[in-house]
Amino acid sequence: MSEKVFASSAFNDNLDSRQRKARIWQTILLACTLLGILVLTMMLVDIIVDGAGWLSPTLFNNNHSRFPEKTGMNSAIYGSIYNVLLTALFCFPLGVAAAIYLEEYAPKSKLTNFINININNLAGVPSIVYGMLGLTVFGRMFGLFAPESPLVNFFNLPVEAGNVGGLKFNLFGIPGLIIHLPFGRSLVAGAMTMSLLILPTVIISSREAIRAVPTSIREAAYGLGATRWQMIRTQVLPVSFPGILTGIILAMGRALGETAPLIIMGAFMYVPFLPRNIWDKFTTMPIQIYNWITLPQPEYNIHLAAAGIIVLLLVLLGMSALAIFLRNKLQVKW
């Protein structure tokens, strides 16, 4: 119709064909979106169908057993929670401090640039690499504390042989504050490895939160005679805190789901007890699920594995919900 109205124009506007093309593209984009959602939904439905019937108090309260109806993932749930909390404890101060330094203090130099690029690169390093690093550095400490190592012989250190051997001492002589060197297969070693893994993500998300603090209130604080640190402590940190927190919770979610580094670290084993302290062995939910999948009975490799995945997903969903809730609650509305 428009062609008729503007027929004399020098434009061959071809409106029908252009609009048809637009509709086709809209359909393609919609189809792509739906395809992703469809596959995800199918996976979720499949898991729920297989596993929902196996969600029971037993699953939460018991540990692995050779009888499927008596088996549970108690030690894995607690292992995961302890591991993630310890990871947050290591990661939060380090990541936020690094983010503050890089955003607020670091001079614009080639070195800063180099660090920036490599933080982004580190966020993309496969997790198994962090597992290897964690095993060497935290788990074994380069074998420095093995019996007959040069260090042990030179200082004549009282090391023990065996699986949880190495050097044990009380830090500052305080009774409860025992340090084990190397960290071995402990929660500490696992959490430190996870911290390495999520540190780049934490730094990046914290930096984004810090950068989002408006220049105007920074200038206002300086204008009133604030030092740089006063400006950061009183303005930048409170305003960026919700964003920082959200980033850390989401990074913790990633740590919760990671399997590969912990398998390397030696958390892939039967741990029928809860960790009593941070030097204990532990196992985690994804590892427990992987364990069940490798067993031949369908009760384990279909139903219990699916039930375990549901539990893991519920915890992850809960953490994401918490992140969204905190962000909405604490966020400054300008």
Partner 1 sequence: MENNIRDTHLKNQSKEPIIETKGLSVFYNNRLAIRDINIAIEPNKITAIIGPSGCGKSTLLRTFNRMNDLIPGARVEGKILYNGIDINQKALDPVGLRRHIGMVFQKPNPFPKSIYDNVAFGPRINHYTGNMDELVETSLRQAALWDEVKDKLKESGLALSGGQQQRLCIARALATQPDLILMDEPASALDPVATQRIEELMIELKEKYTIIIVTHNMQQAGRASDNTAFMSLDRENIEARIGILVEYGKTEQLFTNPRNKETEDYITGRFG
**Binding map of partner 1 across residues 91-120, x = CB under 8 A, - = no contact:** ----------------xx------------
Backbone angles phi, psi at 179, to 5 degrees: -115, 135
Which listed residue (150, 175, 176, 223) binds partner 1 by CB under 8 A?
223
Q: Which is nearer to partner 1, 104 or 208 (CB)?
A: 104
User: DSSP readout, 85-123?
Assistant: HHHHHHHHHHHHHHHHIIIII--SSHHHHHHHHHHHHHH
Closest to partner 1 by CB, 187 vs 236, is 236
Determine which residue in the list 33, 227, 277, 297 makes contact with partner 1, applying CB under 8 A.
Answer: 227
Closer to partner 1 by Cβ: residue 121 or 227? 227
CB contact burial 232-250 (16+ within 10 A = b; e otherwise): beebbbebbbbbbbbbbbb
User: Residue 164 interacts with partner 1 (CB under 8 A)?
Assistant: no
Minimum distance from CB of 209 to partner 1 (Å)?
Answer: 14
Choice between 53 and 214, CB closer to partner 1: 214
Asked if 235 touches partner 1 (CB under 8 A), the answer is: yes
Kindly state whether residue 240 participates in binding partner 1, applying the rule CB under 8 A: no
Task: With beta carbons less than 8 A apart as the criterion, state whether 119 and 203 touch.
Answer: yes
**Does residue number 214 form part of the binding site for partner 1 (CB under 8 A)?**
yes
239 near partner 1, rule: CB under 8 A: yes
Distance, C-alpha 179 to centroid of its chain = 25
Say whether residue 277 binds partner 1 (CB under 8 A): no
What are the structure tokens assigned to 201, written together? 């993500």
In the set 1, 216, 296, 329, which binds partner 1 (CB under 8 A)? 216
Q: Does 225 bind partner 1 (CB under 8 A)?
A: yes
| Interface region with partner 1, contact rule CB under 8 A, candidates 24-32, 77-85, 215-223, 248-256 | 215-223
Q: How far is the CB of 101 from partner 1 (least distance, A)?
A: 16
**Under 8 Å between Cβ of 195 and 205:** no
Beta bridge pairs of residue 170: 178
Residue type, 295: L
Question: What is the residue type of 1?
Answer: M
Kindly tell me which of 140 and 233 has the beta carbon lying closer to partner 1. Answer: 233
Residue 230 sits in the site that holds partner 1 (CB under 8 A): yes
The stretch among 68-76, 194-202, 235-243, 307-315 that binds partner 1 (CB under 8 A) is: 235-243
Question: Exposed, middle or buried: residue 293 (CB in 10 Å: 0-12, 13-18, 19+)?
Answer: middle
Tell me the torsion sign for CA atoms 259, 264, 269, 273.
negative
Does residue 107 have a cis peptide bond before it, meaning omega lies within 30 degrees of 0? no
CA–CA separation, 241 and 121 (whole Å): 25
Q: What's the CA gap between 123 and 107, in Å, rounded?
A: 23
The amino acid at residue 331 is Q
Is 30 exposed, middle or buried, given 0-12, 13-18 or 19+ CB atoms closer than 10 A? Answer: exposed
Among 90, 101, 222, 290, binds partner 1 (CB under 8 A): 222
Binding mask 49-78 for partner 1 (x = CB under 8 A): ------------------------------
In three-state secondary structure terms, 75 is: helix
Of 192 and 232, nearer to partner 1 (C-beta) is: 232
**What residues line the site for partner 1 (CB under 8 A)?**
107-108, 214, 216-217, 219-227, 230, 234-235, 238-239, 332-334
